[in-house]
């Protein structure tokens, strides 16, 4: 299912609470309850990339069952992207990249959102979660050992946005056809 920014007033939908709940759900899921396959010796079952901006935080999630999503504190989100093979492949590559860099990440029991201008990577593992945080500029310039994770996470975002754009184009075309039929009936 794909969705965009909510149209309801914030008094009806607390977007911040919804974001926090989604994030918390990902960070606390019991992978055994969902039979999530493990990757590598560290038994990684998912990868998260969080981008901290002044106005929002964006979170990219990929799990080994193909679940792939993007959501933000602004209410924007794309959920269910793993139903599309290019997104699923990008998610799997992101997980593999994270599993391959476990030694550069730190153990964490609690994971706060990233600081503004930072990017945070979270390796979701059966054994323990591991975290790494670095400035986005360092990643863009390739100056961090976590730069390959950034590239893989950005590929997930790209594939999700391509699917979302195609979905919006189909909806727009459908609406235009309906409007043409209505105008023909009125003639």
What is residue 1's predicted lDDT score, i.e. its pLDDT?
A: 43
In b/e form, how buried is each residue of 65-81, taking b as 16+ CB within 10 angstroms?
bbbbbbbbbbbbbbbbb
In three-state secondary structure terms, 32 is: helix
pLDDT in tens, 114-136: 999 999 999 999 998 999 999 99
Cα gap 172→184, rounded to integer Å: 18
Sorted by sequence, the CB contacts under 8 Å of residue 74 that are 6+ apart come out as 5, 15, 55, 56
Beta carbons of 24 and 39 less than 8 angstroms apart: no
pLDDT in tens, 20-48: 999 999 999 999 999 999 999 999 999 99
Its pTM stands at 0.84
What is residue 12's predicted lDDT score, i.e. its pLDDT?
A: 61
* Other Cβ atoms within 10 Å of 94 Cβ, number: 28
């Amino acid at each position: 299912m794909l969705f965009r920014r909510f149209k309801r007033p914030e008094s009806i939908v607390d977007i911040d609470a919804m974001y926090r709940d989604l994030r918390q759900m990902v960070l606390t899921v019991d992978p055994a309850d969902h039979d999530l396959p493990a990757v590598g010796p560290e038994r990684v079952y998912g990868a998260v990339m969080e981008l901290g901006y002044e106005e929002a935080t964006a979170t990219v999630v990929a799990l080994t069952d193909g679940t792939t999503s993007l959501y933000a504190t602004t209410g924007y989100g794309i959920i269910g992207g793993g139903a599309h093979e290019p997104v699923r492949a990008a998610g799997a590559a992101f997980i593999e990249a994270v599993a391959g860099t476990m030694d550069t990440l730190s153990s964490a029991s609690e994971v706060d959102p990233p600081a503004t201008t930072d990017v945070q990577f979270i390796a979701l593992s059966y054994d323990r979660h591991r975290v790494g945080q670095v400035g986005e500029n360092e990643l863009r310039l390739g100056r961090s050992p976590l730069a390959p994770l950034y590239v893989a996470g950005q590929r997930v975002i790209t594939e999700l946005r391509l699917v979302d754009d195609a979905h919006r184009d189909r909806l727009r075309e459908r609406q235009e056809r309906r409007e043409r039929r209505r105008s023909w009936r009125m003639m």
